Structure 1
């Protein structure tokens, strides 16, 4: 989702004087699906940290379905940890927004009503902590992206030197980080003798439940050993796998949706028909009947999580870096080039032997479905958007597969080209000499490395592979260094399009 406040058409625009709201639902066209419940009867049971586009197109839709089925005490209170943009856009709309599901057959519009309120953490951190500490809150879910956990991706441990962590330890009542808010609210519930809420991460972290549990416990231990022990023994951190492609909402999207509604929606979300949510069934404080809304409840999410990270997310990142360098603005545009589509499939095929899936899982069919989804011409999913925060994404999306293939004695050339694409991208200059807006927590460090080495493959690859926060010990493996250096050298020599076109894995 864009970090900027959306431009809201003034009254008197082509959409009339109407703004999407509870009062104006009756004015919507008949083909627009509306909430099938009385919103005034809904009470909150979930606080969600990071109420961006993905949450509103995924988990909030599931809850909307469950509210329609009678689960009236499971409404959502959303929280933005940084910007007030979402609150400012949705508050005048009573937190209603449009889900626009696009495919080659057209667009279906649905109004989602499961979000009841939006908090802005920096404005009133104490109010958000109180919401989370309220015994009525039984689940705190998160989509704060990989970087939002203030951890080291290669190890999965808390980054104690992260500025937000340092701030939160000094100011426990006014935290900045998601981890700080979780621990502050849990500490308050412990003091009050209230049962803890379940922490439900919906981000693309490896073993996200276990990882977040470890990070939260490590942070709590820096405040109080007893608090950390209580969290470790009493708080559930179920793992999840989430899957839905949700591009950034554009001004063109807002205009198109508002036209379809006949009234203004300041911040709709656009997505694809496919959606999947697999959840470890561990909720001591209770949960809604997720299965009734199509959620798959399992005892172990790990194989499904690895399948998604190593097939979908890995190929998505490969297409993003190499496609961007080749001049493609979107994933769908990149997929129109047969060689890029073939390369994406090869990333998936190379990852498949590293997966241990339940019997009956058809990885070939799953891979084919991904290629079809990536090619959806109605979704304008920008390569630049997917390329963000690569330092946080590479370990679980690409590097874990490379480690496993090296242990198996297999080639890593395919993934090496994807990693080399990232290296070429983070230099901050594209193949035409234009600046790249690199968005990454380590952007300054990566840029400094690129400037010190220059566009020389062996020097740049060697220096970046030494960034332990990303590559850990894998960067020192001579097989890794050789494969990545060769791939990066080819990128510098012939460019991304030609490198992909002529790629042949060993």
Structure 2
């Protein structure tokens, strides 16, 4: 079988590097880079990408072994019919590790051709670090890297307005680009960078928040040999994803003209304000996923589809969305129902093995971001707790309990797991344990126990799951 590289791929195209991408993970490669490849093919976008590895350890060396090429395999439903498409991604011109190749990395950032920076450094990537050294090579955080390089770009081009950059963020946090810019400006002030630089940052650069949607299970380890045989290449970076894709970008005309993905027939939506769109997507899709994880795993299921093939589980999630989530989202109710139906239909995708254990990563922060808003809004509007969303947190606490019924080992922030483990190990009652966990703002960022009756309701469901079974508790909640 042939290796995948420039020698084995005939007439590989080369493109000017217009885009610097912070993040080399499965999602960006199967979503952003796939879109750029589509635009190059369909509308002659003529843009190349350089991938920057955000952390010291990553996939850059694997990418370089394949001359930064790989295949994206999409599987799903298109126009009501099963579809499978495979695309060779050749728009990535290079990949760099700034911890080992700082000069090369800086050269790309300062290039005259560069127009756009795209990132997905995970929810933890856009964050503040105490005593951040923006003069380190490179700085530790993503905001630190951006501050240092934007300042060097400003200096190199003497503040030229046409040398500003469009920064597009894909991290799954609200107002992702606004938060990044806020931290960059803080770092500029802390490091006494001149006012003219800040003016250039505000006038010549744009920061666009976005919302992304495509399920990307990643590397198909279970059947990689069959896929490689079909491709005819020993591609060790194949990425599998669903066919459905959606990218909502909050940006003005200047960014839209630089990044015309919608002109290539891609599902890119340009918005002036992201809030309503974000509420809809995060609460319905991501909130459903997060609620499904502990319930599905405790029921003995491995994948999203297996869980949804369980009628009790699928009824639970569908009724949670219809009765508790949608009533708290602004917008036309018929359109919201149609949107939710389309989202939940994707859970049945027969081609995607989306493992619940993979989705379970960092479930604590995911639950409070995606599901707790429904609790707050329901209490505010009705004075009652949403039973099914509340139950999902009880299932999550059972899943995170040492010695849980399925032997599951949570993957989350170690400090938070240590807190939860110590509470579960105490001699207090389940009610006291739940209240201790829910009131700890280190875990959630807020005190969940401040919602009247919430801790008691969660504890009741926890007891029911532990004393009986998840199936019995589910049946009771669905009465």
User: TM-score band, normalised by the shorter chain?
Assistant: 0.7 to 0.9
Write out per-residue CA displacement over residues 365-404 of structure 1, whole angstroms, 9 at most, x where no aligned residue. 2222222211112211111111101233223211122222
Asked if the contact 1:243–1:275 (Cα under 8 Å) also holds between the matched residues in 2, the reply is: yes
Q: Match of 2:296?
A: 323
| Greater Cα shift, 187-196 or 416-425 | 187-196
Q: Match of 1:255?
A: 225
* Alpha-carbon distance, 1:341 to partner: 0.7
**Aligned in 2, Cα 1:459/1:226: closer, same or farther, shift over 3 Å?**
farther
* Alpha-carbon distance, 1:174 to partner: 2.1
- Is 1:499 the counterpart of 2:473? The answer is yes
Q: Match of 1:117?
A: 94
* Alpha-carbon distance, 1:107 to partner: 3.5
Asked if the contact 1:426–1:438 (Cα under 8 Å) also holds between the matched residues in 2, the reply is: no
**Aligned in 2, Cα 1:450/1:116: closer, same or farther, shift over 3 Å?**
farther
Write out per-residue CA displacement over residues 298-355 of structure 1, whole angstroms, 9 at most, x where no aligned residue. 2222211111100000000111122122221111111111111112112322111222
Q: Match of 2:146?
A: 182
Which runs of no fewer than 5 residues in structure 2 stay unpaired?
Answer: none
Task: List aligned pairs for 1:204-223, cutoff 5 A.
Answer: 204-223=172-191
Asked if the contact 2:402–2:424 (Cα under 8 Å) also holds between the matched residues in 1, the reply is: no
* Alpha-carbon distance, 1:84 to partner: 4.7
- Is 1:200 the counterpart of 2:164? The answer is no
TM-score relative to the length of structure 1? 0.84
- Partners of 2:470 and 2:377 lie apart in 1 by 26
Which runs of no fewer than 5 residues in structure 1 stay unpaired?
Answer: 1-15, 27-36, 151-157, 159-164
Task: List aligned pairs for 1:269-308, cutoff 5 A.
Answer: 269-282=239-252, 284=254, 287-293=258-264, 294=266, 295-308=268-281
- Is 1:425 the counterpart of 2:425? The answer is no
Q: Match of 2:27?
A: 54
- Partners of 1:404 and 1:345 lie apart in 2 by 19
TM-score relative to the length of structure 2? 0.88
Describe the SS at the equivalent of 1:168. Answer: coil
Asked if the contact 2:438–2:447 (Cα under 8 Å) also holds between the matched residues in 1, the reply is: no
**Aligned in 2, Cα 1:19/1:70: closer, same or farther, shift over 3 Å?**
same
RMSD: 2.7
- Is 1:246 the counterpart of 2:220? The answer is no
Asked if the contact 2:424–2:433 (Cα under 8 Å) also holds between the matched residues in 1, the reply is: no
- Partners of 1:202 and 1:305 lie apart in 2 by 13
Asked if the contact 2:218–2:241 (Cα under 8 Å) also holds between the matched residues in 1, the reply is: no
* Alpha-carbon distance, 1:131 to partner: 2.5
Asked if the contact 1:121–1:128 (Cα under 8 Å) also holds between the matched residues in 2, the reply is: yes
| Greater Cα shift, 129-138 or 264-273 | 129-138
- Paired residues in the alignment total 463
Higher relative contact order by CA 8 Å / sep ≥ 6: 1 or 2?
1
**Aligned in 2, Cα 1:454/1:239: closer, same or farther, shift over 3 Å?**
farther
- Partners of 1:301 and 1:454 lie apart in 2 by 46
Asked if the contact 2:43–2:263 (Cα under 8 Å) also holds between the matched residues in 1, the reply is: no
* Alpha-carbon distance, 1:189 to partner: 2.2
Q: Match of 2:192?
A: 224
